[in-house]
Amino acid sequence: MIRIYNTLTQKKEEFQPIEPGKVRMYVCGMTVYDYCHLGHARVLVAFDVITRYLRHRGYDVHYVRNITDIDDKILRRADENGEVYSDLTERMIRAMHEDEAKLGVLSPDEEPRATAYIDEIIAMIHKLVSSGHAYAADNGDVYFAVESFPDYGKLSKKKLEDLVAGARVDVQEAKRSPADFALWKAAKPGEVSWPSPWGEGRPGWHIECSAMSTQCLGDTFDIHGGGPDLLFPHHENEIAQSECATGHKFVHTWMHAGAIRVNKEKMSKSLGNFFTIREILDKYPAEVVRYFLVSSHYRSQVDYSEDNLAEAGRTLTKLYHALRGIVPAKEADVPETGHDRRFIEVMDDDFNTAGAIAVLHGVANEINQYRRDGNEEEAKKSAAVLVRLGAVLGLLQQDPEAFFQADTGGELSAEEIEGLIQARADARKAKNFAEADRIRDELAEKGIILDDSREGTTWRRG
């Protein structure tokens, strides 16, 4: 039985989907005004692994991850750029898809955009206003009345009286209570807007996810996930408005990925330690970055540093070394093994990917031992196990030579390296060993490691 840590109850619980054998999961996606950063990569990869594992365990998963394509930040950035907001969002969505593809993140089953759900958002707001849970203010905005929902704060464990006491209210706002939040924002002059019963405007951020998730997955669904910064107020507000609008429990299990720190400090632009996914992928192979993210439990805090990325590269290289020069046995010829059972055991415990990585290294050690013993058939079977378990984590699906020879922006291209290796072979044939050693040293200085065997010379980037 899979056990998942539920942020709502703050404990691990046996996972029992609403409909046996099926999982309905919604994860808050990106607000597309800029390139995705490392924190986004953390969430993308974490819930990609969770989806892969649930499917590995036989569940029919319907995974929905939204896109917020209308928002204050989007409009502000588009204005700064002097471009139409939709041109900005389309460009950033394309970039997001490129980044996630490089990281091996599978596409969600549905990727709803806020601007395609305006009618559904308005209908949900209308329900809330009609039932007394929301009100139209004098300034044209519509607010959710937080005090109308007695359970407000049940996810974040915050008390409403403390929130009200500590709130700062802009003098321009027309809220009845400082804790109330906007469902509909009246349009400013020249701003993109849609018609509504309360005048021209656009949706608030929180209501978008409630409308999209319930439309795609129903009033109640199994899992809702997101980054650590979304727990409050975004997810808290989603619960309040959704349960008031539908009259049903919104979500059974709440999951939140851990935060990213950079050299033990919070990642932020003001500290100058803020990295986009594409900046990182310019320096490191995508699978190394994914391995780095997967090697920590999804709820744990991850510390990004040059040393930690280098270590991830070294340990992933060990796994690929075990697969190098071997053709894995056919999947049908390799039934479930003890490694498979151990993998399931650790992953069933709240998706413990750190434990799963340890299982992969155990399989790699087994392959190496079989090869030292000259037992190639058993090595091939173990290699098949390593590849299939790696696939659940989105790892080890490349040809090993492609991994070792991937161009990571080094001084030499693959063609130049192959040319130098041939020159070294010619020098050795002519018994010019000094020249052969010089070429090997030159390659080593440029991060190219040669491996000589009876079959010839292979190379990899160090």
234 is in an annotated binding site: yes
Pairing mode, strands 134-136 and 142-144: antiparallel
Cβ–Cβ under 8 Å, residues 105 and 138: no
Largest CA distance in the chain: 91
Cβ count within 10 A of residue 282: 10
Contact 459, 448 (CB under 8 A): yes
- The torsion angles phi and psi of 30, rounded to 5 degrees, stand at -95, 150
Give me the helices (H) in 324-375, please.
338-348, 353-372
Instruction: Compute the distance between CA of residue 352 and CA of residue 356 in angstroms, rounded to an integer.
Output: 6
Strands 448-453 and 456-461, sheet pairing: antiparallel
- Does 19 belong to an annotated binding site? no
Q: Find, among 343, 383, 398, 427, the residue nearest to 49 by Cα.
A: 343
Cβ(149)–Cβ(165) under 8 Å?
Answer: no
Q: Which of 421, 387, 427 is nearest to 405 (CA)?
A: 421
Beta strands in 249-318 (DSSP E): 251-256, 260-262, 265-266, 302-304
Query: Would you say 269 is a known binding-site residue?
Result: yes
The count of other CB atoms within 10 Å of the CB of residue 192 is 17
What is the CB-side half-sphere exposure of residue 282 using CA atoms within 13 A? 5
The counts of H helices and E strands in the chain are 16, 15
Q: Give the C-alpha separation, 183 to 308, whole Å.
A: 42
CA distance 212 to 29: 12
Q: Is 209 annotated as a binding residue?
A: yes
For the CA atoms of 16, 246, 156, 299, what is the dihedral angle to 10 degrees?
40
Give the β-pairing of 221-226 and 22-31.
parallel
Annotated binding residues for Zn(2+): 28, 209, 234, 238
Residues belonging to the binding site are: 28, 209, 234, 238, 269
Residues forming the annotated binding site for ATP? 269
